Amino acid sequence: MDWSLLDLSKEAEDVASGLQIFVDTVPGYDRDFLAHISALFAISAELRRLDELISQRSHRRAAAKVTYELDLLCSSMEMTLDAVNSDLFSVRGQASPRRAYEHLCMHFGREGRSFSGRLVAYQDLAVGLCDIVQGDGMIEDLDEVAAVVKGLKARQLTLDTDKYRSPQAQPRIPSIRPSLRPNPPYVPQSPNTSSDDWDSDEMFAYPPTAPQAPLSPAFSNSSFETYYSIPTSPSLDSNASYSPIHWANKIFDGMHAMTPFRGNLGQPTRCLGRDIPEAVNRLCAEGFLKVVEQPFDAADAFVRLYWRPSDHRARILFLTKDRLGRRYRHCIPLTLLNIRRVGTCLQLSRGNQYDGRLDLWANLRFTFYERMVLFFCTAVALKRQDAVDSPLQVEDYFQNGEDTEFAAEIEDDRYLHAFRVFKDTNTGAVRFEATARRGPMQKTPIWTAFVTQYIGLKGWMRRVGPKIISLSALHPYVFCDNYLPPKGRDGHFELRFKLRQDCEDFLAIFPTISAP
């Protein structure tokens, strides 16, 4: 093994920095580039962590056992970065960035793994290697993702890559790069083209981005009027540049920590629903818009969430391939599914019309706690905002993997929300969550925020009133349109408790929560 992990880490950061210029210069692909940038920074962080672990004498024996997998990761990733440099940072790439990026995507497609798909695989493999080296995993845990990278590397070596590259490819020009931005924490995002293999033979190759939700019917007597108390979005002129997006498009932004699950990750991602080959066409023809797309199990499966502006109906689409490359598409209304956490997985079950029991429709396996939380809250919120009520009398449930550290009521204007502080039993990560307190949307998530890094941080929270606490930093993920938790005059988010005693209890309890 003759790889410098620090050099490869720096190269990933350099490429990520260089990609920043494409965010604004290639309209329509901005989310792709933002996803790639975040993924590259995240991989870089894992490589640095891995280098630090390997350098410790106590970990050298474990590191020796993963020499093959480490070589696999570094060699395949080096070839990927070389391809990016050659296509995007050449003279021709700078002259026509859109064509250069589409050329690169085509090249990666010939190698059998999209840009985002291979970055997910690299990150999963790097995280797994770190776990094994520090004694938190077994070599067998890497078999699946290592096989993905091994297959990719074989295609990279076999394919005559030069014939797919621009003949005038030059080394990238350092002067075009903006200064390196701080490393943002990352959770895999929703790129527009990461699952295009399933759309390539469909009428609609790229379903349009969802506009902002129009006004839904108001529910009086409900704290969840939060969702519906804002005026409708303006009408969209076909020639206008204004393009609002649905709240779900904003959820997987990567601006939070990544806390990997420990131990066995559970059953692999799979779907037991029937194959619907025309699913993508039908969704688009019926007016559904893709608002979320997430890769699973090293991008061997993709899950999309769709939403229809006219009536807020929501669908889930599961995309996968078998070992022979045959594509499968499974689709069902979210209202027909019960969503529950089981360990590191979310199990999506539908009601059996004969015996009334729940039958497993899909199992989604997660690597990171934060990503699981965001997917659960997004899916449940979309389901509850659907114009059609769910026929299931079973509650969606996530807290069987979390302990409640604190509970109280908070106020937003005249509305009451249930406020909870949860600590995950597997990872030790801590988050805030506000849900509807009353009405038809009761227990539906309104917002959540990950706060592990703030525990014990002096000055992070301060009391600014008998029942009000100001938070100097918070990144809430909001599961409805046109809403943010209340802020004070200084622009900081505030927790406005209903009772003075709850405010005092929170100040006393939160600093005592043990951080992982």
**What is the radius of gyration, based on Cα positions, of the chain?**
23
Q: Which domain holds residue 440?
A: 400-512
What is the rounded average pLDDT for all residues in the chain? 80
Instruction: Give yes or no: residues 290 and 358 share one domain.
Output: yes
Q: pTM for the whole thing?
A: 0.61
* Between 112 and 239, the higher pLDDT residue: 112
Claim to verify: residue 364 and residue 410 sit in the same structural domain: no
Residue 166 pLDDT > 90, yes or no? no
Q: Do 112 and 229 share a domain, yes or no?
A: no
Looking at the structure, do residues 426 and 469 belong to the same domain, yes or no? Answer: yes
From 398, 516, 406, select the one nearest 461 (Cα to Cα): 406
Cα 90 from chain centroid (whole Å): 31
Contact 514, 428 (CB under 8 A): yes
- Mean pLDDT over 170-192 rounds to 36
pLDDT tops 50 at residue 275: yes
Residue 163 lies in a domain: yes
Give the count of domains, the chain: 3
What SS3 state is found at 497?
A: strand
Q: Is residue 489 part of a domain?
A: yes
**For 69-111, what is each residue's pLDDT tens digit?**
899 999 999 999 999 998 898 877 778 888 999 999 989 988 8
Residue 316, number of CB atoms within 10 A of its CB: 25
Looking at the structure, tell me whether residues 16 and 164 fall in a common domain: yes
pLDDT higher than 80, residue 234: no
Indicate whether 262 pLDDT > 50. Answer: yes
Residue 46 has pLDDT above 90, yes or no: no
pLDDT attached to residue 3: 62
163 and 21 within one domain = yes
CB atoms near residue 251 (< 10 Å): 23
- Given a contact cutoff of 8 angstroms between Cβ atoms, the answer to whether 419 and 457 are in contact is no
**Both 490 and 445 in a single domain?**
yes
Residue of 210, 206, 209, 183 whose CA lies nearest to 196: 206
12 and 157 in a single domain? The answer is yes
> What are the beta bridge partners of residue 295?
302
Report the pLDDT value the prediction gives residue 505, as an integer from 0 to 100. Answer: 96
As a whole number, mean pLDDT of residues 125-147 equals 81
Pairing of strands 345-351, 402-412: unpaired
In this prediction, residues 48-69 reach a mean pLDDT of 86
Quick check: is 27 in a domain? yes
Same domain (yes/no): 106, 57: yes
Choosing from 140, 168, 196, the residue where a domain stops is 168
In a domain, 300, yes or no: yes
Q: Report yes or no on 310 lying in a domain.
A: yes
Specify the higher pLDDT residue, 4 or 225: 4
Token pair listed for 305? 């969430």
- Let me know if residue 359 belongs to a domain: yes
Same domain, 65 and 157: yes
Which residues does residue 319 pair with via DSSP β-bridges, in sequence order? 302, 329
pLDDT digits (tens, 9 = 90+) for 500-510: 999 999 999 99
